[in-house]
Structure 1
């Protein structure tokens, strides 16, 4: 049973996730899962149908345009936070070992970079540049020897700040290393996102860094968002988990200087 205090928007994001994973959902099943009435679920499905994210059918809803949605639709931060939690924590722990005291780092938006931020709260004399509201919140209190720079910009469903204000801020900076979270990874498209404005902002963040470390769990392999942030060869390090399949490992080993596979507990 899900938390009954979920906001309507959060519940709708979770319903949409179920539709994409299962292909179809029933009103009665969703009502039981979320602890709400059938009428509440029907209203949620109406909202999703008006946004052309699902097709309403008798007693439930089905997916529409699945392939297209995979490249252009972006789940919210709440939904993504619940995915591959053990893998993300393992990746964050491995990535944190790459951060030395006294360095200037960039952290993109994303749930894996937010997990990394939590691992870095005790690193001395750290300068953190981010376009992520969630990452900035992690560092809101704490060490007096830490500097946190939040870019500003337009807010996206993934809690990223994007657009010309963010890009302009990033283009004035020089960072030792940038940690980039991504929506998808493929051999042909590289590291991608479903949000065009976030892609432009992430590219500016990548260009500001001397080194690029991509942090992404193994389920991101084979998914292509609509916009490419960087090609595989642009990453100095990819930190992922041991669930990565052998074929993907072979491709990535040939493109990236260092591939780190973190073992989830």
Structure 2
């Protein structure tokens, strides 16, 4: 197996561990070893890595979910999480896009899924701080691509910091599309303070804003408050989502629930 293949396999296995622990609150090492089908030593290495990243909390014999957090890690890791749901969100978000528009896309892998669909729409301008979106669209003849610069974050594979924030604040686009770590019926959240400022500025830069969230992020919170749900013009979710959560959101803004693939 190549180094890239081994990394992808490890990422998928660690995502399984994260999903299981978030769903159940905690898990024993023996339970995770049986679930993943790898050796006890491999699971211990996975747990140590996830604990170092602050995603899970390690204790003797097992792990638990960090309080008030939702998984938010490297871009490379997130690329393997819920790809079918991201595709479903992207196809629904495409209904907000029309030829000639200007769009701002954040550094979420959900926005990347949308970016892959944009060349089929027609001429437009896309502004982004996500390296993978620039790679995806740089050869698209009909798309004018504007890259937001700043301090490069290897974790997010994007440009952030004060220079990026100032550049974002200089734009006024037709549509801003973002995703984030977590949301309840009334509030959205992110684990990292610096990312909160970037995403707020992106939302404010759009005449219309769309929030894209897969169902695993709904009904949870994270460390920092991002924006109230009412700040977004449209919220697109993948199901299943509890009816009371959707009802609460619909009192504040337009909400669309789509089936995840």
TM-score interval, normalised by the smaller of the two chains: 0.7 to 0.9
Contact 2:12–2:80 (CA under 8 A) maintained in structure 1:
no
Secondary structure of residue in 1 paired with 2:120: coil
Deviation of 1:75 after TM superposition, in Å, equals 2.8
Contact 1:156–1:162 (CA under 8 A) maintained in structure 2:
no
1:260 and 2:256 equivalent? Answer: yes
Distance in 1 between residues matched to 2:202 and 2:31, nearest whole Å: 45
The within-5 A match list for 1:92-171 is: 92-143=90-141, 145-152=142-149, 153-155=151-153, 157-171=155-169
Partner of residue 62, structure 1: 63
TM-score, L = length of structure 2: 0.82
Distance in 1 between residues matched to 2:67 and 2:102, nearest whole Å: 39
Deviation of 1:223 after TM superposition, in Å, equals 1.3
Contact 1:28–1:38 (CA under 8 A) maintained in structure 2:
no
Secondary structure of residue in 1 paired with 2:119: coil
Deviation of 1:255 after TM superposition, in Å, equals 0.1
Secondary structure of residue in 2 paired with 1:259: strand
TM-score, L = length of structure 1: 0.81
Distance in 1 between residues matched to 2:183 and 2:15, nearest whole Å: 23
Gaps of 5+ in 2: none
1:87 and 2:88 equivalent? Answer: no
Q: 1:56 to 1:75 in 2, by over 3 A?
A: same
Partner of residue 206, structure 1: 203
Distance in 2 between residues matched to 1:205 and 1:56, nearest whole Å: 39
Contact 2:183–2:189 (CA under 8 A) maintained in structure 1:
yes
Q: 1:56 to 1:49 in 2, by over 3 A?
A: farther
Deviation of 1:47 after TM superposition, in Å, equals 4.5
Gaps of 5+ in 1: none
Contact 2:69–2:223 (CA under 8 A) maintained in structure 1:
no
Secondary structure of residue in 1 paired with 2:121: coil
The number of residue pairs the alignment matches comes to: 254
Contact 2:179–2:211 (CA under 8 A) maintained in structure 1:
yes
Partner of residue 6, structure 1: 7
Partner of residue 29, structure 2: 26
Residue by residue over 1:45-82, the C-alpha shift from the partner in whole angstroms, topping out at 9 and shown as x without a partner, is: 44455566432535xx3226x31444xx6233344333
RMSD of aligned residue pairs (Cα, Å)? 3.0
Secondary structure of residue in 2 paired with 1:241: strand
Contact 1:92–1:113 (CA under 8 A) maintained in structure 2:
yes
Distance in 2 between residues matched to 1:108 and 1:10, nearest whole Å: 22
Q: 1:199 to 1:160 in 2, by over 3 A?
A: farther
